[in-house]
Amino acid sequence: MPTPVLFSGLPPFPSDVRTASIPRLSLARLLAGDPGEHALLFEACRTFGFLHLDLRDAPEGKALLQDAEKALLLNRALHDLPLHEKMRYPYEPPEQLFGYKHVGRNKVESGQPDRYEAFTFAQDDLLGLISPFPNPSLVTSHRPLLRSFTLKCRAVAAHLFASLSASLSLPSSTLSSLHDPALQSGTTIRLLRYPPHPPSDRRTALLGHTDIGSITLLFAVLGGLQVSLPPSLSTPWASTAEGPGDDAWHYIRPEQGHVLVNMGDAMTEWSGGLLRSDLHRVTWAPGPQAQEMRFSIAFLMRPEYTARMESLVDGGGEKKEEGDGEETVWTALKWERRKSRAIIEGRDVAKSKGGMVEEREFQAKI
């Protein structure tokens, strides 16, 4: 999460709520080739599907933190624009996934309206692969920042891809090669704002889901994000006013100087189920933090549209039969749109995917 500047003046994350023990890793140690750190990364991605990555101990990490801090300040200013101004740039999924989404546009598990708003920007737009989308002038004036933030996030993700490729017995360039910045993809930056919940009506703000893409880098200051953990990783906790009694759901505590990383469905697919894409949601912030407006930034990395969605190791892969019954492989574009439609139409049953598998030998297919 960002530097101490944005944490100052806010209530601390409370110690009396059920909190996930998310593994912490060091970017500097990964860059130094520390074998133990690379093993810890692979284990974290197999078990939790989430990890805190300390950016403070590496120059490129510090540079990303600085951009993230500026982007969070932009997030505040952007969402402070009048609603009628923001509504000029509507988000219209599944074909149009960019622009402004207003509070209540989508539903949560109970069928009630959601409680968040968001601006989403396309990497393809920021890197000049397509014509720019219409945006408020505030966004136009901050395009250099958003482009810089995109490139720095990609650089950090590339280090993670290289490590995970090696752990999967693949050439180190394998996963990065599926995310060529010169080719169009669904990669986005999402600036989110969650208003405080009334004390008498606290509930899910963003429904439980897994991320469709490859890797998500999340920057936030306040709590509210929860992850659903398997029983072996859950912390027993009685039902309290601060959270549900369901032992699966745990808050994730934001950590200064760290970015929260989570695996998406694509990583589960390519790894043949070895890597875990974990179910998560956003509820109210715990303790005194519940009274604050919550801001976050998600860098949602997805593969180039032409990437093949199949296992790169023996033992899995999503193939579908079309036409004459012959087996075919989805491209990333078709795979993402299919999954997005299923979510919007209520046909997708959200659940964690992959990971926690028995150790076995596997052979790279490429």
Reported confidence tier of residue 179, pLDDT bands at 50, 70, 90: very high
Residue type, 360: R
304/184 Cα distance (integer angstroms) = 6
Please give the single-letter amino acid code of residue 343: I
Q: What is the pLDDT of residue 95?
A: 67
**Residue 134, preceding bond cis, omega within 30 degrees?**
no
User: Across the chain, what does the average pLDDT equal?
Assistant: 87
Give yes or no for residue 365 having a pLDDT over 80: no
Please tell me the distance from the alpha carbon of residue 108 to that of residue 298, in angstroms, as a whole number: 19
- Paired tokens of 328: 């075919």
Q: How far, in Å, are 14, 26, 283 from residue 244 at the CA level?
A: 16, 32, 10
361 pLDDT more than 80: no
Spell out the alpha helix ranges (H) of 32-88. Answer: 35-47, 59-79, 83-86
User: Averaging pLDDT over each range in 284-288, 342-346, 356-360, which range is the top one?
Assistant: 284-288
Output DSSP code: residue 213.
S
Determine the pLDDT at residue 146: 98
Q: How many CA atoms lie within 13 A of 2 on its CB side?
A: 21
Residue type for position 357: V
> Which of 223, 227, 295 is CA-nearest to residue 262?
227
In the chain, the percentage of residues whose pLDDT exceeds 90 is: 69
State pLDDT tens for residues 2-61: 667 788 888 999 999 999 999 999 999 999 999 999 999 999 999 999 999 999 999 999
Residue by residue, DSSP assigns 219-254 as: EESS--EEEE--GGG------BTTB-S-TTEEE---
What is the structure's pLDDT at 20? Answer: 93
As a whole number, mean pLDDT of residues 179-190 equals 97
pLDDT value at 237 more than 70:
no
Inform me whether the pLDDT recorded for 248 exceeds 60.
Answer: yes
What whole-number distance in Å separates Cα of residue 297 and Cα of residue 192? 6
pLDDT above 80 (res 232): no
Rounded to 10 deg, the angle between the 143-167 and 35-47 helix axes is 100
**Does the structure show a pLDDT above 90 at 348?**
no
270-319 per-position pLDDT tens digit: 999 999 999 999 999 999 999 999 999 999 999 999 999 999 997 555 54
Task: Tell me the pLDDT band of 235, cut-offs 50, 70 and 90.
Answer: low
CB 211 within 8 A of CB 333: no
Under DSSP, is residue 318 helix (H, G, I), strand (E, B) or coil?
coil
Cβ atoms within 10 Å, residue 193: 18
Average pLDDT over residues 73-97: 90
- pLDDT class of 139 with cuts at 50, 70, 90: very high
Rounded distance between C-alpha atoms, residue 122 and residue 97, angstroms? 8
The C-alpha atoms of residue 338 and residue 318 are separated, in whole angstroms, by: 13
Q: What is the pLDDT of residue 240?
A: 42
Q: Half-sphere exposure of 260 toward its Cβ, with a 13 Å CA cutoff?
A: 26
pLDDT score, position 236? 56
Q: Record the tokens describing residue 331, joined without a space.
A: 């491209």
How far is Cα of residue 166 from the mean position of the Cα atoms in its chain?
22
Give pLDDT, residue 241.
Answer: 37
- pTM over the 0.75 mark: yes
- The pLDDT of residue 360 is above 80: no
Beta bridge partners of 280: 209, 227
Contacts made by residues 159-164, CB under 8 angstroms, sequence distance 24+:
159/27, 159/30, 159/31, 160/30, 160/41, 160/53, 160/215, 160/261, 161/214, 161/215, 163/30, 163/38, 163/41, 163/42, 164/41, 164/42, 164/45, 164/267, 164/271, 164/275
